[in-house]
């Protein structure tokens, strides 16, 4: 009798006090959705509205303008060089940090994260102070007729700085959590280091690695502040797509600016969609691995 009467009491008590009153719930959801709509959805819509404000022909004309095309080519070139370098660095840093113990490891992790907390403008400034005309290597470089600042190499260097932690910070926590029993098993069965990496490690980290590469690529193609300092804004030569957007906007060519912006916004959306998919994949794999380990 006692048991029968207390059970419903506890259930109703739970409902009363553990969930927020309806008016609180609806107010909070309302505020959250308004903020997200106002700050995240509306701006994306504006990009498209402004880009097509003078019709499709104006849109396609500004995207096929020689300056726009050369900006796109340069942006692709920068990404093609920067993303593989950051990826190779990220994998080797994760291997060293997650698979071995050594002194100064936490300092190394902090240093790898450092570019995240440096203002992009300072990322550009430091390269100007090394390679610029007034910089440490400036006189030597001009003697040998090598141009880094206000040229493509400077843009690539600044991009390498701002994308520096992207792959490493995706891989390090995952590889630390994974442990190295599987790799040790393969090694003790006679696999070489590279075989172990490609057959054991890589399949385990592939989704996180792809996420890191994807985010790195988005930043490499979209970086503005650091690149702006070292580029010199030479039209058709050192303008990346984000710089081309800035120049067009400042010259009141709004269709041109937003047409370029629409490409980068599309890149951002594609990046987010794939990131969500990859995180879901990664969680599935982790769950499967835990289930297998439990059995």
Size of the site for other proteins (CB under 8 A): 100
**Binding string, residues 256-285; x marks residues near other proteins by CB under 8 A:** -xx--x--xx--xx-xxx-xx---------
CA 44 to chain centre: 19
For residue 295, the minimal CB distance to other proteins (Å) is 26
Interface with other proteins in residues 156-175 (CB under 8 A): 157, 160-161, 164
Judged by CB under 8 A, the residue of 79, 245, 259, 278 near other proteins is: 245
**Binding string, residues 177-196; x marks residues near other proteins by CB under 8 A:** ---x--xx--xx---xx--x
For residue 213, the minimal CB distance to other proteins (Å) is 14
Torsional sign, CA 277, 278, 282, 288: positive
**What per-residue string of b and e applies to 265-285 under the rule 16 or more CB within 10 Å gives b?**
bebeeebeeebeebeeebeeb
Question: What is 87-144 written as a DSSP string?
Answer: HHHHHHHHHHHHH---TTHHHHHHHHHGGGGS-HHHHHHHHHHHHSTTSTTHHHHHHT
Q: Is 207 or 295 the residue whose CB approaches other proteins more closely?
A: 207
Q: Does 63 bind other proteins (CB under 8 A)?
A: no
For residue 206, the minimal CB distance to other proteins (Å) is 19
Instruction: Let me know: does 227 contact 240? Beta carbons within 8 Å.
Output: yes
Selected range binding other proteins among 61-69, 139-147, 243-251, 282-290, rule: CB under 8 A: 243-251
């Amino acid at each position: 009798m006692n048991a029968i009467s207390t059970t419903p009491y506890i259930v109703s008590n739970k409902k009363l006090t553990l969930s927020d009153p309806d008016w609180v719930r609806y107010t909070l959801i309302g505020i959250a959705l308004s903020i997200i709509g106002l700050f995240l959805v509306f701006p994306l819509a504006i990009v498209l509205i402004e880009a097509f404000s003078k019709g499709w022909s104006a849109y396609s004309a500004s995207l096929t303008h020689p300056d726009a095309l050369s900006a796109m080519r340069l942006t692709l070139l920068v990404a093609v060089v920067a993303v593989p370098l950051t990826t190779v660095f990220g994998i080797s840093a994760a291997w060293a940090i997650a698979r071995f113990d050594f002194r100064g490891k936490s300092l190394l992790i902090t240093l790898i994260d450092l570019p995240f907390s440096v203002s992009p403008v300072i990322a550009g400034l430091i390269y100007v102070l090394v390679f610029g005309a007034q910089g440490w290597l400036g006189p030597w470089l001009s003697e040998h007729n090598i141009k880094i600042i206000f040229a493509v190499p400077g843009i690539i260097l600044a991009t390498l700085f701002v994308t520096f932690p992207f792959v490493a910070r995706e891989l390090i926590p995952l590889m630390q959590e994974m442990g190295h029993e599987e790799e040790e098993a393969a090694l003790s069965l006679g696999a070489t280091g590279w075989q172990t990496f490609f057959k054991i490690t890589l399949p385990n980290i592939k989704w996180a690695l792809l996420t890191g590469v994807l985010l790195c690529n988005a930043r490499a193609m979209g970086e503005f502040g650091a690149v702006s300092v070292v580029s010199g804004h030479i039209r058709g030569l050192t303008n990346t797509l984000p710089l081309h957007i800035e120049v067009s906007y400042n010259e009141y060519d709004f269709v041109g600016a937003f047409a370029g912006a629409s490409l980068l916004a599309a890149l951002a959306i594609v990046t987010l969609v794939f990131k969500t998919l990859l995180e879901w994949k990664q969680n599935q794999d982790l769950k499967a691995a835990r289930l297998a380990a439990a059995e």
